[in-house]
Structure 1
Amino acid sequence: MLTNPNDPRVKRTRQLLMQAFMELLEQKKNVSSITIQDITAYATVNRSTFYAHFEDKFTFLESWMREKFLEKLKDELPNASLSDIGSLRTLILIVFDFLFCTRPYMSLADRQYETLFELVMQKELYDLLFAWLSEQAEPSLSRKTVETTARIASWGIFGAAMEWSRQPQQSSAEDTVKDVLVVVAAGLAPVTG
């Protein structure tokens, strides 16, 4: 792995590999059918370049999912941070929309990657919620209480969105997000006051 992720050459190469993957995904329509060889050939780099940036396909996919999710957060959530119940609603809607948009690229063969994607998204949700709750928390609350609250809320949001994304025809995202927001807000209330 390269040691300086801030080097412009490293950023360009990683972006080239990610873009190649996205274009291949549009063509092939599922994650498992795309090999490292496909990515490097499409990006016109050799395999050793890929391995200089990523340990394997799993670390590549983890990075890709994180990057795409953070990009969506940045585009749709001002300053990529939470400030009130409205931004919490926006966050929940982003998670629902993101999973809905990525679901078509997941075939039965891609089930091996679902856990990886779940962990990446849930971690990013947790980090965002923990940062917000740490700022909002009553001074008398312990860090452990704030961590636990952020963990439960992040899994609750993610789990509800994952379940909904499997059968979106059963209810609208907007209706489901309203229900999730009520439950999550109630769970956060003891921390946020």
Structure 2
Amino acid sequence: MPVNQNDPRVKRTRQLLLQSFMELLEQKKNIYSISVQDITDRATVNRATFYAHFEDKYAFLECWMRGKFQRKLELELPSSSISNMSSLRTLIQIVFDFLARTRQYMIRTPENSRYEPLFESAIHKELYQLLFTWLSVEARTPVSKKVVEPTALVISWGILGTAIHWSRNPQNRSADAMVREVLVVVAAGLAPVLEEPQKDIPL
């Protein structure tokens, strides 16, 4: 039977499992070495409880990554939304910073690489939703409204893909330089929805 996500007891148990994982992560400094058994032992619950809340470790890690990114957005992006080019720049900066900080817990091996698409998807869902919501409000003409969805999709993957590529070799370019360049490209890509190119891009 699926659990009721709105039940306070369910929320507490999920939070306990996620908090236990975070505590283990601080000790081991490696996402992939932490097993379901490690998490349930730390949380003092049985494995059946874990699987009642999460289908498997993949689902658990996706939930953890998405929640972690949501909290960073809440802390650093005013109202957790985009309102102009300045907040868009902040969003891009958050993505670069988040990936740089998260990368320290990821040891890249052929075995562990299967988790990367999972993490990328979790972050992308939040990026896409933010952009789609903003552009849906800003699109004023029939033509611009038609391209909101594909524009949000392309721009969100563009930001994330560039940040992922940079995070693997951050010593090659500074994050600030990359963010400035990505913002210029993103602004041009948004022009069809925003009706005209953005002139006041905060560099």
TM-score bracket, shorter-length normalisation: over 0.9
Query: 1:2 deviation in Å?
Result: 4.0
Q: Structure 2 unaligned segments of length 5 or more: list them.
A: 196-203
Q: Which residue of 1 aligns with 2:194?
A: 192
Q: Kindly report which structure 2 residues correspond to 1:42-191, keeping only aligned pairs within 5 A, or say none.
A: 42-109=42-109, 110-141=112-143, 143-191=145-193
The alignment's TM-score, normalised by the length of structure 2, stands at: 0.91
Query: 1:3 deviation in Å?
Result: 3.2
Query: 1:143 deviation in Å?
Result: 4.8
1:84-121 CA deviation, whole Å, 9 max, x = no partner?
A: 00000000000001100100111124211101011111
Query: 1:138 deviation in Å?
Result: 2.4
Q: Which amino acid aligns with 1:159?
A: G
Question: How many percent identity over aligned positions?
Answer: 64
C-alpha contact 2:83 2:134 (8 A) present in aligned 1 = yes
Query: 1:21 deviation in Å?
Result: 0.6
1:156-176 CA deviation, whole Å, 9 max, x = no partner?
A: 100110011111111111111
Q: Which residue of 2 aligns with 1:35?
A: 35
Q: Which amino acid aligns with 2:189?
A: G
State the distance in 1 between where 2:8 and 2:101 align.
30
State the distance in 1 between where 2:45 and 2:169 align.
39
C-alpha contact 2:4 2:10 (8 A) present in aligned 1 = yes
Q: Kindly report which structure 2 residues correspond to 1:1-12, keeping only aligned pairs within 5 A, or say none.
A: 2-12=2-12
The alignment's TM-score, normalised by the length of structure 1, stands at: 0.96
Aligned pair count reads 193
Q: Which residue of 1 aligns with 2:19?
A: 19
Q: Structure 1 unaligned segments of length 5 or more: list them.
A: none
Farther off after superposition, 82-91 or 23-32: 23-32
Query: 1:144 deviation in Å?
Result: 4.4
1:126-155 CA deviation, whole Å, 9 max, x = no partner?
A: 111001000001231265411100001001
C-alpha contact 2:99 2:163 (8 A) present in aligned 1 = yes
State the distance in 1 between where 2:108 and 2:88 align.
32
